Amino acid sequence: MCWNTAEFPVWLLHQLLNIIHTPWRMSLLRGLLGMELIGTSVRLFLDFQEKLASLDSALILDVPLGVISRIEKMGGATSRGENSYGLDITCKDMRNLRFALKQEGHSRRDMFEILTRYAFPLAHSLPIFAFLNEEKFNVDGWTVYNPVEEYRRQGLPNHHWRITFINKCYELCDTYPALLVVPYRASDDDLRRVATFRSRNRIPVLSWIHPENKTVIVRCSQPLVGMSGKRNKDDEKYLDVIRETNRQISKLTIYDARPNVNAVANKATGGGYESDDAYHNAELFFLDIHNIHVMRESLKKVKDIVYPNVEESHWLSSLESTHWLEHIKLVLTGAIQVADKVSSGKSSVLVHCSDGWDRTAQLTSLAMLMLDSFYRSIEGFEILVQKEWISFGHKFASRIGHGDKNHADADRSPIFLQFIDCVWQMSKQFPTAFEFNERFLITILDHLYSCRFGTFLYNCESAREKQKVTERTISLWSLINSNKDKFKNPFYTKEINRVLYPVASMRHLELWVNYYIRWNPRIKQQQPNPVEQRYVELLALRDEYIQRLEELQLASSAKLSDPSTSPSGPSQMMPHVHTHF
């Protein structure tokens, strides 16, 4: 089934509305409202009857339909008083729009139905917007991530690790990718037996290997220990095999992302954690990160203090009471521990939570970002997201609720947003370490909801394959990679072997105002255009400089072969090469 354009009604400035309530105390704006569906967005035009000092033209609000989480009617036919009758639209990106309408003419019913129909296509047997998107880009973002190439970049397979296609048809584990990296010494039968002991068959597989000390980050789900404290010889042996791939340390470190009590409580539903008795050669630590429900409630509290009014009098203590930054701190602290264990502790690390698709993904991907500078480039980061989140089955469809009208669904949770927030915190602390800028991160988040691209649709690779997502939709990376300059950090200096340890203390974390409060005109960056202009200039200058340096390097390498050149030449050149890039 397909939408044809004729089905998009276009109301251009003829829906007479009484009052427009925009958020953020921009007071009441009175004017005419027009609504138009453009592709995957609903565009709202506001044309003011009274000219406002700050806004001299019509205000246009582009609200991607995918961003709408809830549409509600306010008031009824008998409502009295101004602004008591209309529509209230809750968005997933911290925005709320409230329109007060005139009661005459039943215009609201039409608007409500049209909006509901297209904002929640799943409930109306309509396809998700991404399948209708006919945009063209000059690069294909679906080619960015190729697992074989990525593992080869990491130096895999090697003597200890092999690539297996056992999950080719998603029979071993339906939420894992087709291609997995497992210990060389574990046979496919071993893997099948281990799968029976891990929640949802998510067996321990390799995420990342240290290029020098060969320690690894391995991810999985919780073991099915249960109340009776079940054991599984194959699982125990399998972890030992993982430990032995690295001969430097006698213990395997297991990070259970959950708080200790939650891990214990999970035994009641058949889960649990690796006990000392069963796993002699492993050390287990709990990282105290709370579950998806806690995170959702925390973000809800953040929204409460920034919408509809920004909490004024006790801003900092209100912010504290949301605990959002505290959760960010715990996630970052956990990732730092993983990275440090692998890099300095020279111990292989196994990370899991309950199912291994939320907190586990946060920890492995953040640790990899700290350890491997490749992931700090634009394409590297795309690969990281594609690999650790999308291919390993972070349940984007359930967590975001694409096209789904059940806004109160308990499965929704801002886990991926929290990850991006952590990345932003890191980029604040290391302003030259990331190739991408803040706009890149915000763009990713915008399209996490927009449904314009197929990138974040569905819960796992098998579902995406079934829906032929890569054939039928466009990748978000097509948009980004075809206009990379817009997303570049002009101060990026490439450093190969630097491990980044951000400071995860509360003193050094801050609320991402440009994201969470960006709709408030009073908070807006005051000088966006000159800053951007300057960044673009700097980027151009930088490219010019790189080019000149390359020429110089060529010239100097030519000189190197000439024995008569002074020996100081190359040694002076080298530090430059390192410091600038």
Binding-site members are 291-292, 353-359
User: Shortest Cβ distance from residue 511 to another protein (Å)?
Assistant: 7
10: left (phi over 0), alpha (psi -120 to 50) or beta: beta
User: Shortest Cβ distance from residue 231 to another protein (Å)?
Assistant: 38
User: Shortest Cβ distance from residue 457 to another protein (Å)?
Assistant: 33
Where is 558: in which H helix or E strand?
helix 528-560
Phi, psi (rounded to 5 degrees) for 434: -115, 135
User: Shortest Cβ distance from residue 470 to another protein (Å)?
Assistant: 38
What DSSP character marks residue 266? G
Cα angle value 379/383/389 (rounded, 5°): 140
Cα–Cα nearest to 456, from 395, 511, 406: 395
Task: Decide whether 7 or 510 has the Cβ nearer to another protein.
Answer: 510
Non-local CB neighbours of 221 within 8 Å, separated by 6+ positions: 198, 199, 200, 202, 352, 353, 354, 355, 356, 357, 360
Three-class secondary structure of residue 553 per DSSP: helix
- Count CA atoms closer than 13 A to 47's CA, side-chain side: 9
Annotated binding-site ranges for substrate = 291-292, 353-359
Non-local CB neighbours of 302 within 8 Å, separated by 6+ positions: 94, 319, 322, 324, 511, 516
Give the separation between CA 119 and CA 114, rounded to whole angstroms. Answer: 8
Residue with tokens 């692998």: 342
User: Shortest Cβ distance from residue 369 to another protein (Å)?
Assistant: 15
User: Shortest Cβ distance from residue 488 to another protein (Å)?
Assistant: 13
Non-local CB neighbours of 270 within 8 Å, separated by 6+ positions: 199, 224, 226
The residue count for the chain: 581
Task: Decide whether 305 or 383 has the Cβ nearer to another protein.
Answer: 305
- Residue 388: both structure tokens together: 């650790």
Residues near another protein (CB under 8 A) are 306, 310, 312, 314-317, 319-320, 325-326, 329, 429-432, 490-491, 493, 503, 505-508, 510-511, 513, 517, 520, 522-527, 530-531, 534, 538, 541-542, 544-545, 579-580
User: Shortest Cβ distance from residue 487 to another protein (Å)?
Assistant: 18
Task: Decide whether 331 or 397 has the Cβ nearer to another protein.
Answer: 331
CA dihedral of 244, 246, 251, 252, whole degrees rounded to 10? -90
Q: Mark out the alpha helices in 392-490 (DSSP H runs).
A: 396-400, 415-429, 438-450, 461-466, 469-472, 476-481
Q: Is 353 a catalytic residue?
A: yes
Q: Is 390 in contact with 396 (CB distance < 8 Å)?
A: yes
User: Shortest Cβ distance from residue 515 to another protein (Å)?
Assistant: 12
Phi, psi (rounded to 5 degrees) for 19: -140, 140
- Count CA atoms closer than 13 A to 202's CA, side-chain side: 28
Strand partners, 232: none
Task: Decide whether 513 or 558 has the Cβ nearer to another protein.
Answer: 513
CA dihedral of 125, 127, 128, 131, whole degrees rounded to 10? 170
Task: Decide whether 84 or 572 has the Cβ nearer to another protein.
Answer: 572
Q: How many Cβ atoms sit within 10 Å of the Cβ of residue 527?
A: 10
Collect contacts of 176-180 with beta carbons under 8 A, ≥24 apart: 176/201, 176/202, 176/205, 176/392, 176/393, 176/460, 176/461, 177/147, 177/391, 177/392, 177/393, 177/461, 178/461, 179/147, 179/148, 179/151, 180/205, 180/206
User: Shortest Cβ distance from residue 556 to another protein (Å)?
Assistant: 12
Q: Which of these is catalytic: 91, 220, 353, 422?
A: 353
Q: Which residues are catalytic?
A: 353
